[in-house]
Amino acid sequence: MIDTSTVESSNITKGEYLLRLHRIYLLLARSLNPVTRNDCIGVAIEASSTDNNPLESIENTLEPGDRLYNRASYWSSLGSRDPDVPETLTYGLVSNLCAISEIHIQPFLAYFQDGFPIYSAKAVRFKMGHQKLYVNSSTSVSNGLAVDYSSASDHFIWTYVSPEFPMAQENTLQIFKLPEPAFCVGGVLQVELLGRVQRQEMDGLYYLCVSHVEVVGRPLLPEYDVDIIDQSGKCILKYFPELPEPSSTNGEIGRGRSRASRLVQRGVHGWEHIVLNTLLGGRGMFDDDDDIDEEIAE
Encode pLDDT of 11-50 as tens digits.
778 888 788 778 767 767 778 888 999 999 999 999 999 9
**pLDDT tens, position by position, 145-173:** 334 454 455 789 999 999 999 999 999 99
- The 8 Å CB, 24+ separation contacts for 36-39 are 36/101, 36/216, 36/217, 36/218, 37/216, 37/217, 37/218, 37/219, 38/104, 38/214, 38/215, 38/216, 39/94, 39/214, 39/215
Residue 261 confidence (pLDDT) above 50: no
Residues 230-251 as b/e (b if ≥16 CB within 10 A, e otherwise) read: eeebbbbbbbeeeeeeeeeeee
**pLDDT tens, position by position, 120-137:** 999 999 999 998 754 443
For residues 191-211, average pLDDT: 96
> In 30-132, which ranges are continuous DSSP H helix?
none
Could you tell me which CATH class the domain 1-134+152-242 is placed in? mainly beta
Note the pLDDT of residue 150: 46
The torsion angles phi and psi of 198, rounded to 5 degrees, stand at: -105, 130
Answer with the residue of higher pLDDT: 263 or 233.
233
Residue 296 confidence (pLDDT) above 50: no
Q: How long is the chain?
A: 298
Note the pLDDT of residue 251: 44
Q: Contact, 261 vs 131, CB < 8 A?
A: no
Close Cβ partners of 275 (under 8 Å, ≥ 6 residues apart): 1, 2, 21, 24
Close Cβ partners of 159 (under 8 Å, ≥ 6 residues apart): 128, 129, 130, 185, 186, 233
Percent of the chain with pLDDT over 90: 47
Note the pLDDT of residue 70: 81
Q: What is the mean pLDDT of the chain?
A: 77
Residue extents of the structural domains in the chain: 1-134+152-242
For residues 88-95, average pLDDT: 96
Q: Contact, 6 vs 61, CB < 8 A?
A: no
Most trustworthy range by pLDDT among 57-71, 115-129, 271-285: 115-129
Most trustworthy range by pLDDT among 51-55, 145-149, 278-282, 292-296: 51-55
Residue 292 confidence (pLDDT) above 60: no
Helices and strands (H, E) in the chain, number of each type: 5, 14
Burial of 102 (0-12, 13-18, 19+ CB in 10 A): middle
The whole-model pTM stands at 0.73
Answer with the residue of higher pLDDT: 249 or 78.
78
pLDDT band at 245 (very low <50, low <70, confident <90, very high): low
Note the pLDDT of residue 240: 79
Residue 188 confidence (pLDDT) above 50: yes
Q: Contact, 66 vs 106, CB < 8 A?
A: yes
